Amino acid sequence: MFNLSFVSKNTQNLKIRVINIVGEIIYTEQLDRFIGEYLKRVDFSNNAKGIYFLIAETNNGVINKKLILQ
């Protein structure tokens, strides 16, 4: 499990994805015209241990974070 949380002070379209090391999409969510606080718990208990990448596309650019599932 991991918690995904952020605050958007401006209305924007967001695309959130988690991909595995070979580029397969494990999780995706599209948030249209989102503003405010976002909090979601994502369950990865059915996924293999390893490295994953969280990619958040915003109106202002792309945010990349590495996730390690142990």
pLDDT tens, residue by residue, 18-32: 999 999 999 999 999
Answer yes or no: is pLDDT of 33 > 90.
Answer: yes
Band of pLDDT at residue 7, cut at 50, 70 and 90: confident
Predicted local confidence at residue 6, as pLDDT? 86
Which CATH number is 65's domain given? 2.60.40.3080
Answer yes or no: is pLDDT of 16 > 90.
Answer: yes
Quick one: three-class SS letters along 8-37?
EEEEEEEEEEEEECCCCEEEEEEEEEEEEE
Query: How far is the C-alpha of 69 from the C-alpha of 8, rounded, in Å?
Result: 27
Domain ranges, residue 51: 2-69
Domain count, the chain: 1
Please state the pTM of the whole predicted model.
Answer: 0.81
Band of pLDDT at residue 2, cut at 50, 70 and 90: confident
